[in-house]
Amino acid sequence: MDQTANGGDAPAASSGPGADLVPGRGAAWPARGSRNVRWTAVAVAAVVAVGLLLVAVTWWQGRSTTDTAAVPTNPGPVVMAEADLPQLVTFTGHTIYWAGDQGLDTYEVTISPSTEGQQIYIRYLPKGVDAGSKDAYLTVGTYEKKNAYAGLEAAAKLSGAKSEKLAGGALVVQPAGKTTSAYFGFQGADLLMEVYDPTPGKALQLIQSGTIQPL
């Protein structure tokens, strides 16, 4: 579910490849009595179908071998270029969030398995800082988590928690006493997003301002 935390609803899904080739009402079809025309149409359709199948197979083979080439496969953080970050979406099959480029060219990425799926962390290291640094920096996490929205609703009711429903449909929660992290999620999506920043209150501000976006 591709949505921005502080933006509009997700764009409607496309009708799929070739949907515009399906004739609508009033399309001119050959007359029923025209056998030669009918068989010609069938032959053309068969050739087109085979051609589309070959194109699809070629595309999928190329996609499966190249689209995730830069995605980390070993435990521990790795450095990824901005151009490679969208491959995380292909790898996981769901939306991944980040805080924009923040003036950087490369980013530290960690993929950590959990009991409910993958946890993806994109960390913003200043230039000259190596991946794996123990220092605290802006980090955006996207976690596969069932009933994430219900969990956020429960957290929002706890004493001292700050919560807000944004225009884009996201529920944002900053737990009591935890000023460096804020969480958000969307109803119907089994994804929980966390934004961490060492500056107190900054994580919540980044979500509220619309800075946190899908890749």
Q: Based on the fold, state whether residues 91 and 193 are members of the same structural domain.
A: yes
Q: Based on the fold, state whether residues 59 and 136 are members of the same structural domain.
A: no
Which residues, 6 or more positions from 22, have their beta carbon under 8 angstroms from its beta carbon?
none
Three-state secondary-structure class, residue 184 = strand
- 3-7, 34-38, 77-81, 187-191: which has the minimum mean pLDDT? 34-38
Q: How far apart are CA 196 and CA 183, in angstroms?
A: 9
Q: How far apart are CA 122 and CA 80, in angstroms?
A: 9
Q: Based on the fold, state whether residues 120 and 57 are members of the same structural domain.
A: no
Nearest to 207 by CA among 6, 1, 2, 3: 6
Q: Is pLDDT larger for residue 111 or for residue 35? A: 111
How does the average pLDDT of the chain come out, rounded?
76
Domain count, the chain: 2
Q: What is the pLDDT of residues 125-180, one digit of tens each?
A: 999 999 999 999 999 999 999 999 999 999 999 999 999 999 889 999 999 999 99
Q: How far apart are CA 98 and CA 86, in angstroms?
A: 11
Q: How far apart are CA 207 and CA 115, in angstroms?
A: 26
Q: Based on the fold, state whether residues 60 and 36 are members of the same structural domain.
A: yes
Residue 12 lies in a domain: no
Q: Based on the fold, state whether residues 88 and 186 are members of the same structural domain.
A: yes
Task: Using the 3D structure, point to which of 66, 89, 112 is the last residue of a domain.
Answer: 66
Range of the domain at 60: 32-66
Rg (CA), the chain: 23
Q: Based on the fold, state whether residues 105 and 207 are members of the same structural domain.
A: yes
Residue 18 lies in a domain: no
Q: What is the pLDDT of residues 60-94, one digit of tens each?
A: 344 334 455 567 666 679 999 999 999 999 999 99
Residue 71 lies in a domain: no
Residue 6 lies in a domain: no
- Residue 38: pLDDT over 70: no
Residue 17 lies in a domain: no
Helices (H), the chain: 35-66, 87-92, 148-156, 202-208
Q: How far apart are CA 112 and CA 124, in angstroms?
A: 17
Q: How far apart are CA 112 and CA 167, in angstroms?
A: 31
Residue 138 lies in a domain: yes
Residue 15 lies in a domain: no
Residue 180 lies in a domain: yes
Q: Based on the fold, state whether residues 112 and 159 are members of the same structural domain.
A: yes
Q: How far apart are CA 38 and CA 42, in angstroms?
A: 6
